[in-house]
Amino acid sequence: MAEADRPALSGLEQLQQLLSGLVPPIPIAVTLDFRLIELDAGRVVFAGTPGLAVYNPIGTVHGGWIAAILDSACGCAVHSGLRPGQAYTSLELKTVFHRALTADVPVRAEGRLVQIGGRAGFAEADLRGLDGTLYATATSTCLVIQPR
């Protein structure tokens, strides 16, 4: 789809195209090896399995990888609530690390839209192992940008 056609789509429609493979994957998700796997209005799920390439010096997954997947989940939850022509940008992300994450542990980051208005969107997300273990949570505030 041409970039000029995208503003005619809602945020949910744009994400549906991403999930279906009609548009290229999110570059940061490709770089950090996670992907969008589920999508509903106000809810998204990313999945990934961190490897040794994202380890920190103390031998666990770097907090930046965890924050990135949670930021994507929060941001895309807000994105799913955008009307055609609207955009958003993250204003803040608060991440809480509940326990250490190690390589080769598959995780899911579920993001939920808490509220969206004409100026701001609020979302939350949690990062869990497939067994339900909670590794981290996040909250995010996004600036909603109106069409010109």
Q: For position 1, what pLDDT does the model report?
A: 41
User: What CATH code is carried by the domain that includes residue 35?
Assistant: 3.10.129.10
pTM (two decimals): 0.93
Mean pLDDT score of the chain, rounded to an integer?
Answer: 95
What's the domain count of the chain? 1
Residue listed under structure tokens 């010109």: 148
At 7, is the pLDDT very low, low, confident or very high (cuts 50, 70, 90)? low
Structural domain including 60 reads: 3-145
Q: For position 102, what pLDDT does the model report?
A: 98
pLDDT of residue 75 exceeding 90, the answer is yes
Q: Percentage of the chain surpassing pLDDT 90?
A: 93
Helix (H, G, I), strand (E, B) or coil at 139: strand
33 in Cβ contact with 48 (< 8 Å): yes
